[in-house]
Chain A
């Protein structure tokens, strides 16, 4: 038999085998396991989803947050898209070799500009991959810790082999004078020139060898994809397309199984969450920005997702094989696969969710699993006490609800009771501002500034309960519902135009998680937004230029969760201060460590607390004398960290309201 006929037969066989393996693996590893998942809420909003594909898959927007690796990935991605046609050419060329060994795809294969693009991208992909290998093997940044290095290096070598073999094939064809588009392929021409010393028959052998290497590596890559970190080339498209479009501050409804809230088996997650587990590329951006990981806790968002993926696949295999028991099926998701320490370490700051280029949700599976722990009563003593206090008194301080407005004692004028008379602004104080002895003076100052602005405002007094933002994130869904119902009843009985609060956690719950009818479309404002408005309207005149050099900490639930970055900065400027940004600011701000209920839990073993790292970051700024915060918990966390870190004498921690009051 002639070589060309054998070539066609082998190509057919390779294609059949590799696509069958790929198909079977996708079916078994992905499809079957996805079917086991729980359906989520309906998707909808298709236009927005298509836009997301264009921006986040096509434009790779989130990848550029890590600039150099982002650019490298951009070229590899687009290289793949553009080189799909050259791979198609290689496959068809092999298939029809017995009839037409010099086959070229009509029109597309004869279009010069496309040939140029392919040629350039083959080179760019090569360069990008060499950079990626350098990153993996030489730089090896800490974010790769725990990722599959061998797998990454293998796949990078695959890609490098694919583009190099392509350039060799094209180069030799140019050298042999077989390519009419030779002028459009400068890179391949250069490769050909390098090989020009070889005789024509040798070149033909090298070309054939390069062809087989090219095809086999392409197909090997295909079969290797499912289940590994490179599966994202398939799953990222549906994952980005079906991503959660609700406000990030609104947790999806709690999963419930036979009356029990929470997840304790990987199949109990939503299908969209399962898709996330497959989509993880192990790039470690989440781990890099995680305050819990940085403080030495056992949580790494990346390893969490990888463990969930491994467990999903292993359970899928065990179930497929008809096993009734065995280690994989008997191990509990919560406790065995993912330990309690890992779950409780999360501060729900959402830095991981924000950083993930493929919109993988890290916080929602953590909260789902915490819900299971809460149902089982598995939590530390301090947290248990806080939950019991919240259940009984509506605040975590374990004080009577009647003491909620105790801080108002000694104010020159009594604050209106919003339950008795209509007010413009209903001031929802939140627990910390109302009960913490440390914060009493800041809270009084807020009242004083509101009064100076001639604001018509009032309180709910003892009818206010903790808004439940962090109760929900601890996983105590029933308690959150109870608190929300109590607050809804209180709010519904009052007449007001907007709600204002100093606490970003309260703000998030009221704005995003309370049913719309409670707010009745009335705005919920953070005090920084209100102050900004009052200053802009001229109702609050900041007469004094304070002239301090300050930095500002973005609270997670104000910034990342609700996108309020500018209002507090404008207020700082209006007070005549110079704002110096910390390296991590805006949506990259680092959490103080108090979120997600962490403030109620025991400290645990940590190397350095997030608040200490943050204060160190602020103190490292040249000439900065003040750290301005806009969250009551931050004031508590950072004042403490500044004292214990020995920065108290040169870095004052101040609430935004204190700055405003001083500038009045």
Chain B
């Protein structure tokens, strides 16, 4: 079973986000990029499948700050092949259409049985990566997957629907699956293992094709959420506070 995991690095929400001077994108000066959280699950699911069925796992990423760390950590977890597409950076405005086109080129060459992606990311302005990639490589796509069991050239996947509904369906392989949760939580990899990987693992650097963002949205303006009306603190002793709450409820009930 050969699995490819195309990953996506996204701005770390721990940092305060700023809008750039153009007013249409995030200011990348202070941004830190980290691996999209559900991509960790896609990677974990790939490793679980590799461990139970043997095979290889390849990770593909665009270039950018923090990418090498992600790749070496993946290697330390057991990923066999690290591919970095150079010449294009997460920091510039690569939309998911463009990213899917980049990854499609590499995925076609790798001829995997399965392509696992994180089902969504917080900066998916133009839809999630999985379906776009599936379209470009001509494979079926199932998203919101939380369990994968290959049987005779097909794959039985567990898909979660909103409202707690769960379906099991068979998908022809090769397929692209949008992983929501791996069957076990993403594993921890000790820093010393990552440091070993830095010394031993090789990153296969491939030049990315030309950037093509067609299909994505044109952003007219980007802004921070406007501060909602501030809450009013009710002060006083118990009776006063209770009285005020009763008054408020009456007022609001009328309106």
Contact = CB atoms under 8 A, between A and B. Distances in A.
Do A and B interact with each other, yes or no?
yes
Interface of A: 259, 261, 374-375, 377, 379, 381, 384, 387-388, 391-393, 398-400, 402, 476-479, 481-482
Contacts of A384: 185, 188
B189 interface: yes
B244 interface: no
B192 A375 contact: yes
B15 A477 contact: no
Contact of A261 (B15, B30, B192): B192
Nearest to B192: A478
B14 interface: yes
Nearest to B14: A400
B195 A478 contact: yes
Given A377-B187, A392-B34, A400 B15 contact: yes
A9 B154 CA distance: 85
Contacts of A261: 190, 192
Contact of B188 (A377, A393, A398, A400): A377
B191 A479 contact: yes
Interface in B81-114: none
A374 B14 CA distance: 26
Contacts of B30: 402
Contacts of B196: 259
B12 to A, nearest CB: 8
B194 interface: yes
Q: How large is the interface on B (under 10, 10 to 19, 20 to 34, 35 or more residues)?
A: 10 to 19
B122 interface: no
Contact of B190 (A377, A392, A393, A399): A377
Interface of B is mostly: loop
Nearest to B187: A377
Contact of A374 (B12, B16, B185, B190): B190
Contact of B191 (A398, A402, A482): A482
A402 B15 contact: yes
Contacts of A259: 192, 196
B17 to A, nearest CB: 12
Contacts of A400: 12, 14-16, 32
Nearest to A390: B191
Q: Which of A377, A381, A393, A479 has the most CB of B within 10 A?
A: A377
Nearest to A398: B14
A549 to B, nearest CB: 32
A476 B190 contact: yes
A387 B73 CA distance: 14
Contact of A388 (B12, B15, B188, B192): B188
Contacts of B193: 375, 478
B34 A476 contact: no
22 contacts: A259-B196, A261-B192, A374-B188, A374-B190, A375-B192, A377-B188, A377-B189, A377-B190, A379-B188, A384-B185, A387-B188, A388-B188, A391-B191, A399-B14, A400-B32, A402-B30, A477-B190, A478-B190, A478-B192, A478-B195, A479-B190, A481-B191
Of listed B32, B187, B190, B195, residue having the most chain A CB within 10 A = B190
A496 B190 CA distance: 34
A562 to B, nearest CB: 27
A374 B190 CA distance: 6
A399 B188 CA distance: 19
B188 to A, nearest CB: 4
B31 to A, nearest CB: 11
Interface in B30-50: 30, 32, 34
Interface in B145-196: 185, 187-196
A478 B185 CA distance: 22
B187 A478 contact: no
A398 B34 CA distance: 13
Nearest to B77: A377
A481 B195 CA distance: 11
Given A377-B190, A477-B192, 7 more contacts: A377-B187, A381-B185, A384-B188, A391-B191, A392-B34, A400-B15, A478-B191
A66 B178 CA distance: 64
A387 B193 CA distance: 14
Nearest to A399: B14
Interface string B183-221: 001011111111110000000000000000000000000
Contacts of A379: 188
A261 B195 CA distance: 12
Contacts of A388: 188
